[in-house]
């Protein structure tokens, strides 16, 4: 989870919620900068109703790949290299642009053809890009002092830098900002504008504006923002056709997965501006309710706007995002994306990143008032999840799409139960045009309404409220600063690391802590209840059975370290296997590893073991024995030492039995913990008078060691028997995968040993020619494990070690060592469960097989036998010979293929039904193309409406 580009590893900020990572059921994610790179590239725009910009986006390219477009259609794609050269040629005919970047993202030669026409459309293009060069808060940097034409822009957001950068590349260059003066170069001509006011962007306004005084003296307001916000403030009258054309273009851009903005302007009379400026100054200097008063002042000036056009910016997905989302979905985790983008953009990004799939039914809720929201939510529940669901609406997967305006009403106290009801039934949810406050409310709704573990992940300051509301917060160290990182519980640099954090480390932590807590209670109950049994004979006088030092060191040294090892290092399977089998994570979602029934079973087991560890020593040493030196072993110290020793050995071995990763460290820790008790008794008896030579009294008697051994066996045997029966006849998914991994490793190790023997001459084979080697073919069962788990339906586990014997006869000192058919185990029986019963993960009542079955087909086994065992030649003389005849190529090929088709391992109905692999899908809406495959381009405004746009550059 280390990102080399930023030199940023995964950084935990909180250390006490690691087990929560193994129980996450809902993930709430931002889109921009979290799922995407947050590196913006200006791709397309629409000016006065005319679309510009050629080329494909990642979304359209992935859609074409999924649809498997034939070569004839794909040949109609635009040649961007030729188009770029043509655009540069058209630009050079108008002016020289030394500021142009070497990495052009906006390519369309038609823009400069229209710009050269010197008509109404040409004036609209100049106004549009002039607005992009002026309506911003970016700063100019010159990385190369010797090259004044090399300009870089530093902005608060990547979108703003991309807009100003595109304007620079097409000839509208923002040169510098000096106090209140903005200097730009328009098609080679330098102009200066006076900056009067900046109305900042925020998540509530969803727009930003600047008020300028042009060189001609007029006051101009330039505004850019979301289309829904800009359209509400347009001047009513003669812009209907322009709004309709621009809306169509923005819809097409959104269908390609592009982020869209609208640009508008307004000429303000001097008298109106002077009055407004005084009101705005008063609001800005207000002490109480300053933000509300500023917002009210902005509303007084941002109205009666004239629409200029719209922009489309591409924000590409991060590496590995589709695969990560698919893996998390297979693990049973539901993902909600909360974004500020418009609905069409969010839907197409959802298809690109595997959040939405082709087989999903999209439920789109869009309303303008509370009553309409109520009706749409109820209708959706009845139509898709009610008792009388139509056949066409029946689907295993649904996705909910809801916009911010509708979400405002759906989060009302009287409607949020409907939103929660439909949301929990959907596999994915996409909330569009939402504010940071709405993000936090959605997270709180799910966390409190469903009582589940939630995780929020984001990269910007607008995600902080969502991150803090969830049970676990993840911050992405991206392009928008470190606000989200500082507020999060964990931080890393890429979204793709989330699957490893949850499916590997989170699941391990949950399993470790669940088992550690149970074992910790168990070992203390055994120790304490054993003293309780003694009180029956002590008359409940509170006399201690153990020595004080035993009580002091029991949790400090004798039994502490095995439990610590269990909680820190134990793991059921390795990281690679965990990622290959995401459904193993569902045990954490269902909280199967730490339940009340499991806890009380541990308590019952500890009470039983305490009785064994007390009554067996008490019964055997009740009368005691005498030694030749006059010492006896029937004292309280003797009994307490014997009981304590039995408890220490039993509890440590019991913890080891529940440990799944038996490494060398595990054996060392358990062994040292047990030996530490007896070493302490030895040292303690040397200098404490009450324990004088206790080691000679107990350690020299065989009865002492037999009693300890008997107590350990009687205590652990029931637990061992239960575990054996459960794992043999009712194994969990984890048990099955662990068995398969173990068998695979064992088979591979045997194959390596046998191949080493055959290749390096351990079989006594002498080669007649130095270049005459045996050809050894090994089928790597381990490399096919992933495929076997998900695709195989066979029930055999036969590895292949096929020896292609040489055609030349050769003399041998002894017979070669024959490969073993290691997987045809005679001790295992055929499965008593059918393949249909293998996966019941939702219910937790999994049925599985008891062993590996193999076919008794004579021909298949005979072919395998012939490929391994080489028949002897008939002797022609009385001399002893070890020469073998080689089987024919035909027989060899037949034997190889007959066994290869049966060389799979585990039947894998394991997880296929519950979690079908997600597929990426295309959006139902696409651009309308003409016969040549190009976007249909409208020329100007088709109606007779007159809209004056040439305000910045008068004709």
Was 32 annotated as part of a binding site? yes
**443-448 contact pairs (CB < 8 A, 24+):** 443/28, 443/469, 443/470, 444/469, 445/411, 445/416, 445/419, 445/420, 446/26, 446/28, 446/336, 446/420, 447/26, 447/471
Whether the CB-CB separation of 608 and 718 falls below 8 Å is answered with: yes
Written as six digits, the tokens of 300 are 């007084």
Q: Is the sign of the CA dihedral 158, 160, 163, 166 positive or negative? A: negative
30 given a catalytic annotation = yes
Whether the CB-CB separation of 788 and 908 falls below 8 Å is answered with: yes
Was 340 annotated as part of a binding site? yes
Was 572 annotated as part of a binding site? no
Cβ atoms within 10 Å of 704's Cβ, excluding its own: 20
Was 412 annotated as part of a binding site? no
Which residues are CB-contacts of 618 (< 8 A; sequence separation ≥ 6)?
A: 639, 643
Was 727 annotated as part of a binding site? no
Q: What's the half-sphere exposure (Cβ side, CA atoms, 13 Å) at 724?
A: 6
Of 821, 818, 814, the closest CA to residue 860 belongs to 821
Which residues are CB-contacts of 311 (< 8 A; sequence separation ≥ 6)?
A: 42, 44, 45, 132, 163, 166, 224, 260, 261, 263
Q: Spell out where 470-570 has E strands.
A: 472-476, 490-492
Task: State CA 218 to chain mean position distance.
Answer: 54
Which residues are CB-contacts of 881 (< 8 A; sequence separation ≥ 6)?
A: 873, 875
Q: Output DSSP code: residue 585.
A: G
Was 243 annotated as part of a binding site? no
Residues paired with residue 195 on neighbouring β-strands, in sequence order:
212
Was 30 annotated as part of a binding site? yes
Of 143, 148, 207, the closest CA to residue 173 belongs to 148
Task: State CA 313 to chain mean position distance.
Answer: 26
Alpha-carbon distance of 510 to 354, in angstroms, equals: 27
Was 817 annotated as part of a binding site? no
Q: Is 50 helix (H, G, I), strand (E, B) or coil?
A: strand
Whether the CB-CB separation of 300 and 197 falls below 8 Å is answered with: no
Was 341 annotated as part of a binding site? yes
Alpha-carbon distance of 692 to 695, in angstroms, equals: 8
Written as six digits, the tokens of 51 are 């679309």
Mode of pairing for the β-strands spanning 472-476 and 428-432: unpaired
Written as six digits, the tokens of 272 are 């109106």
| Alpha helices (H) in 688-806, listed in sequence order | 694-698, 702-729, 733-759, 785-791
Whether the CB-CB separation of 733 and 908 falls below 8 Å is answered with: no
Whether the CB-CB separation of 715 and 610 falls below 8 Å is answered with: no
Was 224 annotated as part of a binding site? yes
Was 433 annotated as part of a binding site? yes
Residues paired with residue 738 on neighbouring β-strands, in sequence order:
none
Q: Is 458 helix (H, G, I), strand (E, B) or coil?
A: strand
Alpha-carbon distance of 329 to 585, in angstroms, equals: 11
Catalytic residue, from 30, 489, 605, 638: name it.
30
Cα distance from N-terminal residue to C-terminal residue, the chain = 58
Alpha-carbon distance of 727 to 860, in angstroms, equals: 31
Mode of pairing for the β-strands spanning 152-154 and 172-178: unpaired
How many residues make up the chain in this entry? Answer: 955
Task: Tell the residue number behind the tokens 């409190």, with chain if given.
Answer: 448
Task: State CA 303 to chain mean position distance.
Answer: 44
3-state helix, strand, coil split of the chain in percent (to 5) is 45, 15, 35
Whether the CB-CB separation of 628 and 535 falls below 8 Å is answered with: no
Was 463 annotated as part of a binding site? yes
Residues paired with residue 428 on neighbouring β-strands, in sequence order:
335, 399
SS (HEC) of 907-941: CCCCCCCCCCCCCCCCCCCCCCECCCCCECCCCCC
Residue positions forming the annotated binding site for Mg(2+): 30, 32, 459, 463
Residues in binding site for ATP:
30-32, 160, 201, 224, 259, 339-341, 433, 439, 462-463
Residues annotated as part of the active site = 30
């Amino acid at each position: 989870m280390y990102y080399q580009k930023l030199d940023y590893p995964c950084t935990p900020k909180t250390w006490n919620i690691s087990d929560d990572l193994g129980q996450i059921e809902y993930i709430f994610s931002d889109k921009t900068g979290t799922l995407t790179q947050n590196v913006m590239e200006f791709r397309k725009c629409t000016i006065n109703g005319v679309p510009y910009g050629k080329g494909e986006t990642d979304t359209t390219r992935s859609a074409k790949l999924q649809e498997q477009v034939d070569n004839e259609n794909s040949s109609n794609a635009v040649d961007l290299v030729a188009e770029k050269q043509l655009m540069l040629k058209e630009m050079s005919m108008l002016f020289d642009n030394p500021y142009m970047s070497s990495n052009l993202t906006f390519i369309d030669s038609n823009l400069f053809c229209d710009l050269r026409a010197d008509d109404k459309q040409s004036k609209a293009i100049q106004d549009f890009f002039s607005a992009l060069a002026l309506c911003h808060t970016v700063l100019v940097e010159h990385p190369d002092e010797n090259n004044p034409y090399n300009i870089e822009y530093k902005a608060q957001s990547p979108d703003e830098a991309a807009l100003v950068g595109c304007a620079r590349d097409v000839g509208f260059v923002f040169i510098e900002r000096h106090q209140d003066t903005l200097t730009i170069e328009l098609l080679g001509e330098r102009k200066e504008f006076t900056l009067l006011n900046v109305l900042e962007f925020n998540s509530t306004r969803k727009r930003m504006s600047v008020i300028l005084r042009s060189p001609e003296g007029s006051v101009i307001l330039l505004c850019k923002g979301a289309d829904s916000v800009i359209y509400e403030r347009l001047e009513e009258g003669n812009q209907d056709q322009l709004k309709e054309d621009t809306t169509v273009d923005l819809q097409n851009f959104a269908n390609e997965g592009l982020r869209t903005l609208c640009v508008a302007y307004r000429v303000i009379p001097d008298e109106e501006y002077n009055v407004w400026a005084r009101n705005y100054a008063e609001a800005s200097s207000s002490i109480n309710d300053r933000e509300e008063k500023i917002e009210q002042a902005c509303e007084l000036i941002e109205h009666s706007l004239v629409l200029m056009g719209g922009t489309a910016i591409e924000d590409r997905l991060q590496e590995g995002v589709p695969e990560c989302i698919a893996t998390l979905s297979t693990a049973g985790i539901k993902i909600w994306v909360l974004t500020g983008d418009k609905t069409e953009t969010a839907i197409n990004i959802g298809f690109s990143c595997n959040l939405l799939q082709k087989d999903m039914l999209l439920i789109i809720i869009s309303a303008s008032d509370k009553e309409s929201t109520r009706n749409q939510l109820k209708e959706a529940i009845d139509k898709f999840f009610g008792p009388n669901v139509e056949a066409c609406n029946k689907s295993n997967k649904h996705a909910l799409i809801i916009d911010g305006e509708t979400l405002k009403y759906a989060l009302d106290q009287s409607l949020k139960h409907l939103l929660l009801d439909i949301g929990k039934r959907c596999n994915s949810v996409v909330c569009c045009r939402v504010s940071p406050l709405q993000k936090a409310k959605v997270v709180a709704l799910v966390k409190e309404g469903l009582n589940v573990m939630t995780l929020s992940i984001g990269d910007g300051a607008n995600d902080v409220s969502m991150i803090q509301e969830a049970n676990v917060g993840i911050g992405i160290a991206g392009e928008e600063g470190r606000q989200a990182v500082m507020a999060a519980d964990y931080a890393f640099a890429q979204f793709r690391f989330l699957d490893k954090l949850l499916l590997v480390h989170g699941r391990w932590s949950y399993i470790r802590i669940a088992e550690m807590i149970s074992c910790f209670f168990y070992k203390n109950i055994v120790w304490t209840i054993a003293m309780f049994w003694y009180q029956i004979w002590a008359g409940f006088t509170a006399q201690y059975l153990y020595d004080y030092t035993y009580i002091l060191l029991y949790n400090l040294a004798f039994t502490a370290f095995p439990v610590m090892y269990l909680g820190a290092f134990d793991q059921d399977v390795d990281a690679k296997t965990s990622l290959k089998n995401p459904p193993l994570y569902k045990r954490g979602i269902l909280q199967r590893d730490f339940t009340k029934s499991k806890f009380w079973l541990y308590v019952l087991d500890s009470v039983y073991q305490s009785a064994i560890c007390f009554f067996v020593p008490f019964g055997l040493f009740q009368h005691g024995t005498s030694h030749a030196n006059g010492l006896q072993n029937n004292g309280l110290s003797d009994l307490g030492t014997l009981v304590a020793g039995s408890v220490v050995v039993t509890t440590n071995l019991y913890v080891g039995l529940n440990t799944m990763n038996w490494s060398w460290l595990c054996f060392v820790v358990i062994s040292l913990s047990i030996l530490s008790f007896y070493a302490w008794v030895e040292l303690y008896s040397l200098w404490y008078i009450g324990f004088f030579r206790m080691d000679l009294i107990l350690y020299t008697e065989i009865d002492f060691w037999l009693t300890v051994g008997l107590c350990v066996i009687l205590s652990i045997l029931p637990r061992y028997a239960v575990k054996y029966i459960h794992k043999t006849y009712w194994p969990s998914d984890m048990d099955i995968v662990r068995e398969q991994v173990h068998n695979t490793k064992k088979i591979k190790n045997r194959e390596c040993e046998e191949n080493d023997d055959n290749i390096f001459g351990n079989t006594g084979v002498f080669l007649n020619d130095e270049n005459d080697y045996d050809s050894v073919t090994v089928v790597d069962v381990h490399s096919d494990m992933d495929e076997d788990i998900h695709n195989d339906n066979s029930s055999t586990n036969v590895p292949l070690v096929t020896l292609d014997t040489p055609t030349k006869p050769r003399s041998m000192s002894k017979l070669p060592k024959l490969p073993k058919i290691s997987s045809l185990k005679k001790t295992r029986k055929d499965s008593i469960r059918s393949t249909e019963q293998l996966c019941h993960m939702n219910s937790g009542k999994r049925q599985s097989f008891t062993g590996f079955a193999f076919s008794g087909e004579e021909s298949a086994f005979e072919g395998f036998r012939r490929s391994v065992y080489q028949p002897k030649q008939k002797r022609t003389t009385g001399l002893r010979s070890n020469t073998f005849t080689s089987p024919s190529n035909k027989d060899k090929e037949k034997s190889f293929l007959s066994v290869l088709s049966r060389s799979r391992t585990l039947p894998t109905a394991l997880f296929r039904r519950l979690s079908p692999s997600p597929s990426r899908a295309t959006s139902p809406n696409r651009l309308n193309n003409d016969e040549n495959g190009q976007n249909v381009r409208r020329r100007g405004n088709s109606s007779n409406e007159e809209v004056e746009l040439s305000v910045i550059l008068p004709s």
